Amino acid sequence: MATVIQADTELHVHLEGSMEPELLCRLDSTLTLEEARGLYRFDSFAGFIEAFKGAVRRLQTPEHYAMAASALFDSLAGQGVRYAEVIFSAGVVEWKRQSLDEVWGALREASGQAPLTVRWNVDVVRQFGGEPAERVAKWAVRHGGEGIVSFGIGGDETSRAAGEFARAVAIAKEGGLKFTPHAGETSNAENVWEMVRMGADRIGHGIRAVSDPSLLRELRDRGIALEVCPTSNVRTGAVRSLAEHPLRALFEAGVMVTLNSDDPGIFGCTLAGEFEAAQGMGFSEQELSQMAENARRSAFGL
């Protein structure tokens, strides 16, 4: 099915999850294509986290990061995307004991040559806790003028209490960055509430908000967009099937819903494909256009 509208804005795509199996093999010559494809085969959220870690491990040098970024930018531009906010997991760079400044230098250079407008969401890993998050938040604020527009929290949202990240979030927001945490992907509406109370400007996923009418009203009234990633949700097991996906209910509740690809390399998906999926779920051309417009209106760097 051909997509009926041109999606031109991507707000939730992970650099580390964007790498195709072929690129992993170029980065790691000991890896066969079959092994790389096998890495991306999983049937649970825990399996997905392992695949993500397997991809991250192949990014050994700043040049590797630049290669991943350039491949992603070319792919997005090839689909007609003109503006992207790319999530960069600074937390895992520290964890791998690589130089964040050197990796960032390579990414900054790559984004300067990109065939589309690129902004960055610097992400920390929830499992690692609040202290590394504060360090990353300070670093992100220092580099805020270099295309970094927001601070996020990714990883396993059930692993650590939201309160552990209060200081990191305050540092980021006082430093002029937006706050875009993952929440309500695999857990519950309360997790989304916690992030809204901490000042979330957008929510990564947020699909569990569907179970709480008062939360839906809050998101709608405050214009807090949800970065919804339907294919990702099915592949990680967050929802059983597209037919059971709450996208329609979120949209009908008046929430600012956007469509995104999340980890296109791992899931084998594209932004255009997410719009095709929504079309297959019964969304009209006008409704798809509305979601594309929501993304433009919720972008931080436009």
Which residues of the chain form contacts with Zn ion (CB under 5 A)?
262
Shortest distance (Å) from residue 89 CB to Zn ion: 10
Buried b (16+ CB within 10 A) or exposed e, 202-212: bbbbbbbbbeb
Shortest distance (Å) from residue 88 CB to Zn ion: 12
Shortest distance (Å) from residue 29 CB to Zn ion: 29
| Catalytic residue from among 185, 227, 274, 276 | 185
Which tokens is 91 given?
A: 């937390």
Which tokens is 253 given?
A: 């509740």
134 three-state secondary structure: helix
d(CA 90, CA 107): 12
Q: Which residue number is nearest to Zn ion in terms of Cβ?
A: 262
16 three-state secondary structure: coil
Shortest distance (Å) from residue 102 CB to Zn ion: 25
94 vs 185, beta carbon nearer Zn ion: 185
d(CA 49, CA 89): 13
24 vs 125, beta carbon nearer Zn ion: 125
Instruction: Give the residues across from 5 on adjacent strands.
Output: none
**How distant, in Å, are the alpha carbons of 16, 83, 85 from that of 298?**
23, 12, 11
| Helix (H) or strand (E) run with residue 105 in it | helix 100-112
Residue 259 CB neighbour total at 10 angstroms: 29
185 is catalytic: yes
10 vs 94, beta carbon nearer Zn ion: 10
25 vs 88, beta carbon nearer Zn ion: 88
d(CA 270, CA 262): 9
Shortest distance (Å) from residue 14 CB to Zn ion: 6
3 vs 180, beta carbon nearer Zn ion: 180
25 vs 225, beta carbon nearer Zn ion: 225
**How distant, in Å, are the alpha carbons of 26, 40, 107, 239 from that of 45?**
26, 12, 28, 11
Residue type for position 39: L
d(CA 186, CA 202): 17
Shortest distance (Å) from residue 171 CB to Zn ion: 22
Contact by Cβ (8 Å): 233, 239 = yes
Q: Which residues are catalytic?
A: 185
